[in-house]
Structure 1
Amino acid sequence: MKLDPRGPRFVAAVTTVVLVVVLVTGSGWLALAQTAVFAAGSVDPRWNPYALAYRWLVQPRLGPPAEREDAAPVRFAQRVGFVFLAVATAGYLSGLTALGVTFAGFGLAAAFLNAVFGLCLGCEVYLLLARARKA
């Protein structure tokens, strides 16, 4: 399956905003909602609710993408995001706020790098692991 590479960047931009709100408000429930978003994207990146918004609202206003990218690295990155936000959610909801802040901060850093610079850390880790398996 191939993806429009602008979609994951849009998803990362929305995720960045959500995680800023999580960090500002300390909302474990919003962290839980973001965890659910990552869960959907980890099954199929096209199922991420933000990706659906991109496909329905943004993509029709843009021309077709110049190229497409493999979905497997994006799926892996969504799984990494899921794990980080699951830990953040557990931290916030159990009263271990420092744990929540730390892992939400890690998620924010990764989402920000993808949204602003197109650097998907989870995708890069996926590619490194794929190369290591071949070696």
Structure 2
Amino acid sequence: MELDPRGQRFAATVTSVVLVVVLATGWGWLALAQAVIFAITAADPRRGPYAYVYRALLLPRLGPPAEREPVPPVRFAQLVGFSFMAVASVAYLSGMTTLGVVFAAFALLAAFLNAAFGLCLGCEAYLAIKRLSAKSA
């Protein structure tokens, strides 16, 4: 199973917008909602709400992708995003706003790099970990 990288960039774009709103407003519940979305997509990137929107609205207009990407790095990246947003949402909801801002900002940086430049930091970290573990084995 492989994924359309354009769908991942679309999801990163929507995520970036959501995270800008979280940072601008301090809405802990929105941070929690984004954490839940990351959790869903960490389990299966094809089942996330942004993936459904992409497939329903954009994919029919764009046509099939010229390339595909493997699922495991994307799942790992979503798990990292979930971790950051879980901390951010708990921090915002418990009044530790500065901690929430820091973790939401890290998540925004990663999402923005993917949306704007196609650079998935979590995917790159996954591949680096795989290479390091293969060398040590």
TM-score category by the smaller chain? over 0.9
TM-score by length of 2: 0.97
- Provide structure 2 residue ranges, at least 5 long, that are not aligned to the other structure: none
Could you say which residue in structure 2 is the equivalent of 1:76?
Answer: 76
Could you say which residue in structure 2 is the equivalent of 1:94?
Answer: 94
Superposition pairs for residues 114-125 of structure 1, below 5 Å? 114-125=114-125
Could you say which residue in structure 2 is the equivalent of 1:34?
Answer: 34
- Deviations, residues 30-78 of structure 1 (Å, cap 9, x unaligned): 0000001001000001111111110111111112100111011000000
Could you say which residue in structure 1 is the equivalent of 2:53?
Answer: 53
The code of the aligned residue for 2:74 comes to V
Could you say which residue in structure 1 is the equivalent of 2:109?
Answer: 109
Which runs of structure 1 show a deviation greater than 6 angstroms over 4 or more consecutive aligned residues? none
CA–CA distance in 1 between the matches of 2:122 and 2:48?
16
CA–CA distance in 2 between the matches of 1:97 and 1:133?
37
Superposition pairs for residues 8-23 of structure 1, below 5 Å? 8-23=8-23
CA–CA distance in 2 between the matches of 1:81 and 1:90?
14
- Provide structure 1 residue ranges, at least 5 long, that are not aligned to the other structure: none
The code of the aligned residue for 1:30 comes to L
Identity of aligned residues (%): 67
Structure 2 residue matching 1:42: 3-state secondary structure? helix
RMSD: 0.5
TM-score by length of 1: 0.99
The code of the aligned residue for 2:53 comes to A
